[in-house]
Amino acid sequence: MLVATEPMRTTAPVSLRTLLLPGPLKSGTVIVEGDEAHHGRVVLRLRPGEDIRVADGAGWCASAVVTGVGREALEIEVSAIEAVPEGPAALLGVVCAVPKGDRFADLVRGLSELGVGSFQPLVCERGERPPANLDRQRRIATEAIKQSRRSRTMEIHQPIDVQTVARSTGPRIICDPAGVPAVPGPPVATTLVIGPEGGFTDEEREALVAGGRSVRLASTILRIETAALAASAVWVAAWEASRP
């Protein structure tokens, strides 16, 4: 049963918590069930009368008010649905070797929080074998948009090998200690390629650099997730600064 109690109002819109709803978003009364209701009731401790934000992961968000809280469901009133334009970070795609264990989850979560448009595991000779099923990584990417207040989930594609990347078109940046200093250009669809901690083989490097540009992030050897997040942050910050 949904119970309405004395209203509670938030005073700072910037602190609004986010719930994810299946699209398309619709105005009016919505019953939220399942994991998202549990998240709202137990984790966020939402109460009737509290203002929240809802998003569908496909670029739409809306204002909403909690109107009822039950043991297994929330009732909310949705209004002011709007499309949220993506920043220039959405033009960035990261193709990256897979780190071990929970470091993979940290990598996906961090890229999603930065607003990166897509991620694709890279299969290379000295790297770990990517998992066959990437559903867990997709869930992590979806959950991360709540904290980062994005409205579109980062796309996660099936693994790709070095030779396929080398044949792709469009700007390609290869992160390599032997490269030149990283200087991002103007915002344009760009792929960042990050190899394994053991580095690319000579053959892989030659194939990738033939149609791309090799850059270095630091004089030290970085872990995979550190390099991917650092490179993404450099490009995102530069592109954000270039916006009028």
* % of the chain with per-residue pLDDT over 90: 77
Half-sphere exposure of 138 (CA within 13 A, CB side): 10
Q: Which amino acid is at 71?
A: R
Angle at 139 between CA 96 and CA 233, to 5 degrees: 40
pLDDT for 153-164, tens place per residue? 999 999 999 999
Per-residue pLDDT averaged across 26-44, rounded? 94
Determine which of 1-5, 79-83, 102-106, 173-177 has the lowest per-residue pLDDT on average.
1-5
Please tell me the pTM assigned to this model.
Answer: 0.85
Q: Token digits for 48?
A: 């009737």
**For residue 148, what are the CA distances in angstroms to 40, 110, 111, 241?**
16, 10, 11, 19
- Three-state DSSP at 195 gives coil
Please give the class, per CATH, of domain 13-83. mainly beta
Reported confidence tier of residue 42, pLDDT bands at 50, 70, 90: very high
Spatial distance between the Cα atoms of 9 and 51, rounded to a whole number of angstroms:
6
To the question of domain 88-241 being in CATH 3.40.50.720, the answer is no
* % of the chain with per-residue pLDDT over 70: 94
Do 73 and 19 meet the contact criterion of CB atoms below 8 Å apart?
Answer: no
| R_g (Cα) of the chain, nearest Å | 21
Per-residue pLDDT averaged across 230-244, rounded? 93
105: exposed, middle or buried (Cβ count in 10 Å: 0-12, 13-18, 19+): middle
pLDDT for 178-228, tens place per residue? 899 999 989 999 999 999 988 999 999 999 999 999 999 988 889 999 999
- Locate the domains of the chain by residue range: 13-83, 88-241
Angle at 228 between CA 224 and CA 229, to 5 degrees: 120
